[in-house]
Structure 1
Amino acid sequence: MDRQELGAFLRSRRERLRPADVGLPAGPRRRTPGLRREEVAVLAHISTEYYVRLEQARAPRPSGEVLAGIADALRLTDAESGHLHVLAGTAPVRSAPHRRDVRPSILALLERLPQTAGFVTSAAFEVLAWNDLAAALMTDFGALEPADRNLARAAFLGPRGDDGSELYGTADAAEFRRHAARELRAAAARYPEDPAITDLVAELLAGSPEFVRLWEQRDVQAAPMLRKTFRHPAVGDVTVDCDTLALTDRDQHLVLYTAPQGSPDADALALLALLGPAARHEVRP
């Protein structure tokens, strides 16, 4: 049980709610944002003293029933409720490091998708496997050191291009940074003893004020990214549909970028497939 983080998470979720969100009158002399602690306790059917002790990291481990009541009172999403249980120690955490080996069947699948840019990421946003079209669209991952294949590190600490572009020329780097911070917050709770995750978080906290700001929000609900535009030096702007498939047995994700058949974006992907990983070094005529 991570008492300090549990208390901070509860406080952050309480402060984002307004009385009207839970059917309570605002009332006079409300000096702090969000609900009062006693209001959460009433809604959760627990004593105010016990809830205060939870936020102050002084309470013993709450039961699953108590956590369910608090989750309802704070209007937590499924992802936030799961995170609450992880912090409280009522859901299993992983003592072993997160998996980095990709199933052979997934590696074979990547190679069977010639018109789809595909890659696999770990729980720490490491790019573990990719096909040639992903390398042509994004960057030649094979030419990078393993530490430089981390999407979160590239998003928060990576250099910008001469034209000001960042993260492989994507038009939504800021949105991805929000996504990455939320996913890493959840991953750090699932793998509290994994140095690959804890060291990455420490590095980002030390090197990126934006990551510090996003991290302190304690959000864990990452919105799906359905479309993405790359500003590519060889073929210009390419807008792709994004599909992410969870590989739950290894806590990995298979990310697929496609374009509607017959569209200019599909033609651009087809050209990149011909150019291969060297496409990133091509100059658009």
Structure 2
Amino acid sequence: MGVNRVQLAEFLKDRRARVSPADAGLPAGTRRRTPGLRREEVARLAGISVDYYARLEQGRGPNPSRQVLAALGRALRLFEDERGHLFRLAGEQPGPPAGPSQAVPPGILHLLERLDDTPAFVIDAKYDLLAWNRMAVRLMGDPPPERNMIWNAFCGPMPVGMESSAEYQSFADESVADLRAASARYPDDEGIRALIERLHAGSSEFTRRWNQHRVCVRRTTLKTLTHPVYGELDLECQVLHADDSGQRVVFYTAAPGSRTADVLGGLRERAGM
């Protein structure tokens, strides 16, 4: 399979024009004559020289290595199918997807801010808590120092055990199965590998579930949360898969007219939102 230099050049130029500075975590700076990123910005984000990147866009550069292609995929914020297309245009077979990102897209952060009546937060593929809104804090309190939800479930102050509720047992089961799916999707990710090793060392309950070899991806579930003031609240846990980075936005909603919906409305008012 050879390099299709013309199509590779056109693909890079097209995707560069589609990425805003804000999407890439860059300041907008002075007024731009064309949309998207500048060549030097893409080169800097990918860790390559401006001249090298310019020659790729002009269809006259050397054959890019797999490392360069992976870096360009990250710099241009390519989705998984786009990343595969980039590799094939360069004469390469795409390897495993890049590891889960911890950079929450600005659009998702804006969504959290606008949800003033719904507790919501963002987790990555290994259940690290990345972002949350004010309603989530009003409902569940400030995030714990240890931001990984699976670690807290198995090795936190109240680890899962035989005496735990059926709902907590179910969360533990599904979380381990979800983590196994993430480890298969991102086989080269050091963060996932390190978390699994820590959990094996810290919890026999985790190891027992891991050895069951279950695989699943978390979807919408029902959850009972015990609030220190309002007692048990019946919530529907909606999960939105944000993008190919493995991030998910989790929303807690309640049936209209229910006691839980009234409590959420009261939390919103007391927060002044």
Which residue is 1:159 aligned to?
157
Q: Does the C-alpha gap of structure 1 residues 172 and 204 become closer, same or farther in structure 2, counting only changes over 3 Å?
A: same
Q: CA deviation at 1:269?
A: 1.3
Which residue is 1:188 aligned to?
183
Q: CA deviation at 1:275?
A: 4.6
How far apart are the structure 2 equivalents of 1:136 and 1:194? 34
How far apart are the structure 2 equivalents of 1:210 and 1:91? 36
How far apart are the structure 2 equivalents of 1:154 and 1:274? 30
Contact 1:115–1:258, Cα closer than 8 Å, also in 2: no
The root-mean-square deviation of aligned C-alpha atoms, in Å, is 2.5
Contact 1:244–1:253, Cα closer than 8 Å, also in 2: yes
Alignment pair present for 1:121 and 2:123: yes
Structure 2 counterparts to residues 62-77 of structure 1, below 5 A: none
Contact 1:117–1:131, Cα closer than 8 Å, also in 2: yes
Structure 2 counterparts to residues 240-255 of structure 1, below 5 A: 240-255=235-250
Alignment pair present for 1:216 and 2:214: no
Q: Which amino acid aligns with 1:100?
A: Q
Alignment pair present for 1:109 and 2:107: no
Alignment pair present for 1:93 and 2:96: yes
The C-alpha deviation readout for 1:133-176, integer Å capped at 9, x for no partner, is 112222312xx43xx11111111111129xxx98xxx8722111
Q: Which amino acid aligns with 2:157?
A: P
How far apart are the structure 2 equivalents of 1:125 and 1:103? 17
How far apart are the structure 2 equivalents of 1:232 and 1:259? 14
Q: CA deviation at 1:111?
A: 1.4
Alignment pair present for 1:271 and 2:266: yes
Q: Which amino acid aligns with 1:200?
A: L
- Percent of matched pairs sharing the same residue: 40
Contact 1:136–1:275, Cα closer than 8 Å, also in 2: no
SS class of match (1:123): coil
Contact 1:171–1:230, Cα closer than 8 Å, also in 2: no
Contact 2:254–2:261, Cα closer than 8 Å, also in 1: yes
Q: Which amino acid aligns with 1:229?
A: T
Q: Which amino acid aligns with 2:127?
A: F
How far apart are the structure 1 equivalents of 2:259 and 2:166? 18
Q: TM-score, normalised by structure 2?
A: 0.59
SS class of match (1:149): coil
Q: Structure 2: which 5+ runs fail to align? A: 1-92
Q: CA deviation at 1:193?
A: 2.2
Which residue is 2:136 aligned to?
134
Contact 2:178–2:218, Cα closer than 8 Å, also in 1: no
How far apart are the structure 2 equivalents of 1:159 and 1:114? 30
Q: CA deviation at 1:181?
A: 0.3
How far apart are the structure 2 equivalents of 1:125 and 1:179? 12
Q: Structure 1: which 5+ runs fail to align? A: 1-89, 277-285
Which residue is 1:29 aligned to?
none
Q: CA deviation at 1:261?
A: 2.2
Contact 1:244–1:256, Cα closer than 8 Å, also in 2: yes
SS class of match (2:207): helix
Q: Which amino acid aligns with 1:153?
A: W
The C-alpha deviation readout for 1:227-259, integer Å capped at 9, x for no partner, is 101011021111111110111232111111111
Q: Which amino acid aligns with 2:158?
A: R
Q: Which amino acid aligns with 1:183?
A: D
Q: TM-score, normalised by structure 1?
A: 0.57
Q: CA deviation at 1:225?
A: 4.4
Which residue is 1:261 aligned to?
256
How far apart are the structure 2 equivalents of 1:222 and 1:102? 20
Q: CA deviation at 1:226?
A: 2.0
How far apart are the structure 2 equivalents of 1:149 and 1:220? 23
The C-alpha deviation readout for 1:97-138, integer Å capped at 9, x for no partner, is 320011111111111112211111101101111111112222
SS class of match (1:172): helix
The C-alpha deviation readout for 1:160-209, integer Å capped at 9, x for no partner, is 29xxx98xxx8722111111101110111222222211110001111111
Contact 1:93–1:189, Cα closer than 8 Å, also in 2: no
SS class of match (1:176): helix
Q: Which amino acid aligns with 2:153?
A: A
